[in-house]
């Protein structure tokens, strides 16, 4: 190869299967090939080797030698330099030339670009920093290094483990079902707005109480279920979640006063799924205990409650980084505590009840430390907690309609809810293969700071012992 000539190497193939012998003094302005095989001696008197990668989706391996020239009688001299379009597509690799007695290789070496430097979101950047603590000999690191920039960003999202943070959002939202059931029960107890969608059993008379109010201890129960999603914010991805469970409670008046106190037990099961490149899912079994109280002074109604839920959380993540794939799992405990209060003012017009209200709830979600089990992509995190306060202003309205012997009670609630505090769930994580150091600060999907809430439905008194309530609860934020 004479000085000034250019040998272009197309990195999409292994070999042309051709041999080329250059005569002394011959000059080639441009030779395009994948591999140049010389039947004789190859004299390199300068020139530039141009490496062109045309297949941007091809996975490359750092440390791998790609042979570009062989000579049966040896190689003498060197190229003046190497040019390439590799950097436009691959962030972590730089090509260098390696010479041997009868061959020239291009070796892909790891450059100084940090794994998180190409990240386009907070989670991608912090996941990249976490990978930097994993040993260079790891299969995960090898696979990530050979990806294009776009592939690497998707891989970092997949590695971030944001599901663990987003689960906190879902469980904080699910705390609504317990406090909503308690507030409805206290409202039912004194006919505050004519709705009785719960099954109420008088422990003294051993009958279902037809009236809203009972001066004896009452046992009640309610089943609930719901599904929804939290939209992504450009960093954390959209999360789908659903929940179902049941609540059993009992309450009694205090010395025939306007005060009523009670307690509850509950079991619920929640499921979570974060797709869109995260390939993550999980579930939580939730066991809850709580206490509540309510009273009224004329038209003014006060309702109070508090409960604690033990959350048994299980997660599964499918890891896909180039040719590197694995599954990681974890199981750990969490706890959700909340306290809430509501003040309402009851107005009546015939069979219709209208009640403007305001309530406030403080919810604290705490998770223990956890350690995923799998391979190099497994994460470890220390325990953390998150506190959020919700305030809601709105109204309830209900009426009674008799159709023959059947009694129907249409009802509606509408309000505006504002959340403040730590609305962005976050976790400090690290790769187990990197020593478990918490080098990653991963954020989950946001809780909505402003939301419209509604609860609309109809209660039908089917028999003396059975009421059926069908309601739609919406939260739009």
DSSP 351-409: TEEEEEEEEEEEEEEEE--EE-BSSTT-EEE--EEEEEEEEEEEEEEE--EEETTEEEE
pLDDT at 67 over 90: no
The region of weakest confidence among 154-158, 188-192, 301-305 is: 188-192
pLDDT at 239 over 80: yes
pLDDT-above-90 percentage for the chain: 54
pLDDT at 21 over 50: no
Tokens 């062109």, located at residue: 52
Q: What are the chain's domains?
A: 6-110 (no CATH), 163-476 (2.40.128.130)
Q: Which two tokens stand for residue 137?
A: 């000999």
pLDDT at 38 over 50: yes
pLDDT of residue 19: 34
Mean pLDDT, rounded, for 13-33: 37
pLDDT at 386 over 90: yes
pLDDT of residue 305: 98
Angle at which helix 149-159 crosses helix 122-131, to 10 degrees, equals: 90
pLDDT at 11 over 50: no
Strands 218-230 and 239-253: antiparallel
Mean pLDDT, rounded, for 282-289: 98
Separation in Å, CA 425 to CA 148, 169, 371, 381, 388: 30, 7, 19, 14, 10
pLDDT of residue 28: 36
Which one of 22-36, 84-98, 361-375, 393-407 scores highest in mean pLDDT?
A: 361-375
Q: What's the mean per-residue pLDDT of the chain?
A: 85
The region of weakest confidence among 151-165, 215-229, 312-326, 420-434 is: 215-229
Please provide the size of the chain in residues. 477
Q: Look up the pTM and report it.
A: 0.84
The region of weakest confidence among 49-63, 98-112, 344-358 is: 49-63
pLDDT of residue 17: 34
| DSSP-assigned states of every residue in 132-161 | TTS-TT-HHHHHHHTSBHHHHHHHHHHHS-
pLDDT at 457 over 50: yes
pLDDT of residue 464: 64
**CB-based contact 327:318 (threshold 8 Å):** yes
Mean pLDDT, rounded, for 151-179: 95
Mean pLDDT, rounded, for 303-321: 97
pLDDT at 447 over 50: yes
pLDDT of residue 34: 67
Mean pLDDT, rounded, for 29-53: 75
pLDDT at 354 over 50: yes
Mean pLDDT, rounded, for 144-171: 95
């Amino acid at each position: 190869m004479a000085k000034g000539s250019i040998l272009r190497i197309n990195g999409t193939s292994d070999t042309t299967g051709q041999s080329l012998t250059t005569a002394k003094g011959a000059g080639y302005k441009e030779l395009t090939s994948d591999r140049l095989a010389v039947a004789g001696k190859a004299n390199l008197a300068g020139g530039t080797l141009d490496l062109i990668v045309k297949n941007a989706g091809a996975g490359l391996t750092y440390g791998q030698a790609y042979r570009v020239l062989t000579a049966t009688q040896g190689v003498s001299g060197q190229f003046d330099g190497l040019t390439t379009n590799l950097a436009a597509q691959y962030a972590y690799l730089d090509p260098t030339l390696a010479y041997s007695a009868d061959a020239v290789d291009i070796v892909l070496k790891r450059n100084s670009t940090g794994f998180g430097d190409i990240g386009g979101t907070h989670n991608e950047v912090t996941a990249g920093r976490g990978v930097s603590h994993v040993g260079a000999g790891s299969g995960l690191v090898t696979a990530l290094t050979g990806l294009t920039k776009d592939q690497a960003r998707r891989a970092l999202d997949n590695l971030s483990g944001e599901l663990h943070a987003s689960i906190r959002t879902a469980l904080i939202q699910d705390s609504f079902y317990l406090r909503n059931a308690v507030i409805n029960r206290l409202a039912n107890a004194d006919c505050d707005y004519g709705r009785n969608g719960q099954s109420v059993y008088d422990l003294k008379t051993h009958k279902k109480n037809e009236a809203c109010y009972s001066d004896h201890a009452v046992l009640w129960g309610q089943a609930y279920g719901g599904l929804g999603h939290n939209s992504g914010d450009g960093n954390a991805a959209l999360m789908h979640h659903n929940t179902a469970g049941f609540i059993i409670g009992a309450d009694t008046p205090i010395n025939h006063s306007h005060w009523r106190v009670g307690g509850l037990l509950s079991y619920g099961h929640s499921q979570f799924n974060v797709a869109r490149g995260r390939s993550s899912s999980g579930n939580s079994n939730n066991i809850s205990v709580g206490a509540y109280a309510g009273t009224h002074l004329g038209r003014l109604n006060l309702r109070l409650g508090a409960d604690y839920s033990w959350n048994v959380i299980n997660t599964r993540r499918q890891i896909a980084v180039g040719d590197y794939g694995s599954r990681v799992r974890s199981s750990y405990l969490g706890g959700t505590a909340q306290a809430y209060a509501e003040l309402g003012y009851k107005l009546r017009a015939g069979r219709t009840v209208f009640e403007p209200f305001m309530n406030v709830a403080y919810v604290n979600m705490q998770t223990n430390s956890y350690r995923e089990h799998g391979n190099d992509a497994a994460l470890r995190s220390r325990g953390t907690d998150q506190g959020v306060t919700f305030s809601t202003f709105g109204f309830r309205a209900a009426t009674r309609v008799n159709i023959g012997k059947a009694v129907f009670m249409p009802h509606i609630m509408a309000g505006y809810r504002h959340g403040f505090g730590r609305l962005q769930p976050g976790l400090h994580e690290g790769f187990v293969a990197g020593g478990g150091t918490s080098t990653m600060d991963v954020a989950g999907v946001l809780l909505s700071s402003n939301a419209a809430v509604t609860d609309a439905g109809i209660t039908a008194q089917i028999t003396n012992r059975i009421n059926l309530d069908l309601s739609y609860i919406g939260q739009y934020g």
